[in-house]
Structure 1
């Protein structure tokens, strides 16, 4: 390689290294783009009904924040009441455990009494774990503050993108060569359509999971069934990990009533998760964005490995966008056209040499003159 090629290679390596270092910022920007695209499609839907752009954007943003406020209004009060009940149920449980241990000590031989643990010995054994948990709580608080700042950053970026989306889109398109800008603009249209389909599919899956959870928990007589169902539907946005997270508060609240309810809740959520992962999400996503289930799972493993929890949360929209760009640029524009240009050049050489040796360029061929006159007319029109 010459000096210019070495400089180009070094520049590519440095660019990839810089992009890797700011990967978290890029993921936050992508989250803002997804949210802005969703709200922009909602605003354009309002515009079809004759509403002006500014008021349509305000209406879309208002609906978004109303959903957030409604979510916390449904979730926080029931959980606060259950947590308050848990604060005096736990000491009662400790007292019952102590009385049961004391009764057991009177019924077993004296040789076995030292081996029966009481509540004090259990607390002493759990002390290292408690200390570790308290130490991790400070990290949890700092991580929560960092998460709040990231959410605020995403919301601010979303507002900026939503205010004038076409300006940012034109800046992105101008990063490509002039001959390819119209093609990039079409690819962006397809990405926007696919992201809209993913949002609709995710909302459908959330609604079905939430409804099944509410019905099942209500049938079991679990308290705060509506709040737990809404939480299960929302956490369904996080693939694989979300359903596991949603079963913990449901089992904890069911355990306040009876141990068998906690087991029943675990079985209920297991069947809901199986229905969601094997039927609901694959069917909905295959219909909305044409994603194969195996591709979805592989993408989740890939993004969670390289980008952590945020990558897992954005795995499906990232997969949707990556699929569009790979399909349109790599497959259609590169692989499908591989060798076609050489064939066309060969055909041109054969046609140009067909008049004979005395006329190698076909100057006396009337067909070629007609083709050239058509090309000249087209160029003059352009």
Structure 2
């Protein structure tokens, strides 16, 4: 009898391990789909924030507020495309055509300086990588249709989630055991608030960086200043890595004007980065989540390595959500009491 009980216990343990492995394999296989779902949640959180602001200013039903936000957002985007679309297209084309020559000119100028020999080898490696990326442009172009479909799914999913957020929230909570439902509800609400506040603050920072970058480059006489400002605005959504990547084409084009303009452009990007890091971000983090920089950097590297551009784009908001969930579910339980989570109030 004891032998049969031991066998039954061992069998249960093996089945549990196999079930966990199956769940992990399934989770890994569905990771691209889960990234699309989280992308829809991020866009839905932004829509809910905007509709919430509208309802706070003018009391109205949630559905009407969401519809107004969608109409205004779509109309505003169409208006911007009508006003600046042609200019942005021309300058982006100019930027694409000018960057290889700008890089070659920068290499030539650098080779004539006293420090040129110290970095020439590294620049050659970067140039080889850029060449490989350029040679794969055809393969990248073939994935545009897939990316367009993914974007469409994210936008449609975001509208559905934003239209009935309570239904999806309650459905998710139904998967939680009754004994843990109160803690899960609290953690889910806290992470949602933190995500909405982070997105709002990040959008303000992106607009400020884009405008200041465009004005600064235009005053310095750097070509394609509008396109470079648009790149700075978009890439600023990715913390740490995005601003650095946005500065590279601006600096290269600035050196085609003159070394003085090139160094002034480097100073401009450094000043803007310091302004964002020391002024804008602290103001944002007062009401949102103050993420440790090292944690954010490693999350960008990990998700970028695992999921490419999508992982890099969603790494920061995903880190915000996971960070708050861990503090609410694990740290509070570990300390046996309340833990303050930024973004919980206000």
Normalised by the size of structure 2, how large is the TM-score? 0.74
**1:48-90 deviation per Cα after TM superposition (whole angstroms, max 9, x unaligned):** 3222322211111223334544554565422433467689999
- Matches for 1:128-143 after TM superposition, within 5 Å: 135-143=135-143
2:303 maps to 303
2:44 maps to 36
Counterpart secondary structure, 1:51:
coil
1:81 maps to 90
CA contact (8 A) 2:48 2:162 kept: yes
1:344 maps to none
Cα distance 1:190–1:74, how it changes in 2: closer, same or farther (>3 A)?
farther
Greater Cα shift, 240-249 or 198-207: 240-249
Which whole-Å CA distance do the structure 2 matches of 1:40 and 1:20 have between them?
30
Structure 2: gaps spanning 5 or more residues: 1-8, 103-127, 338-346
1:163 and 2:172 aligned: no
Aligned length in residues: 302
Greater Cα shift, 36-45 or 223-232: 223-232
Counterpart secondary structure, 2:143:
helix
Counterpart secondary structure, 2:222:
coil
Cα distance 1:314–1:81, how it changes in 2: closer, same or farther (>3 A)?
closer
**Given the alignment, which residue of 18, 25, 29 partners 1:17?**
25
Structure 1: gaps spanning 5 or more residues: 94-127, 339-382
Normalised by the size of structure 1, how large is the TM-score? 0.68
Q: What is the CA distance between 1:307 and its match in structure 2?
A: 3.0
2:121 maps to none
Cα distance 1:155–1:186, how it changes in 2: closer, same or farther (>3 A)?
same
1:240 and 2:240 aligned: yes
CA contact (8 A) 2:254 2:265 kept: yes
- Matches for 1:343-382 after TM superposition, within 5 Å: none
Q: What is the CA distance between 1:260 and its match in structure 2?
A: 4.7
Choose 1 or 2 for highest CA Rg.
1
1:336 maps to 335
Question: Larger relative CO (CA 8 A, sep 6+): 1 or 2?
Answer: 2
CA contact (8 A) 1:47 1:56 kept: yes
Q: What is the CA distance between 1:172 and its match in structure 2?
A: 0.5
Cα distance 1:66–1:10, how it changes in 2: closer, same or farther (>3 A)?
same
1:359 maps to none
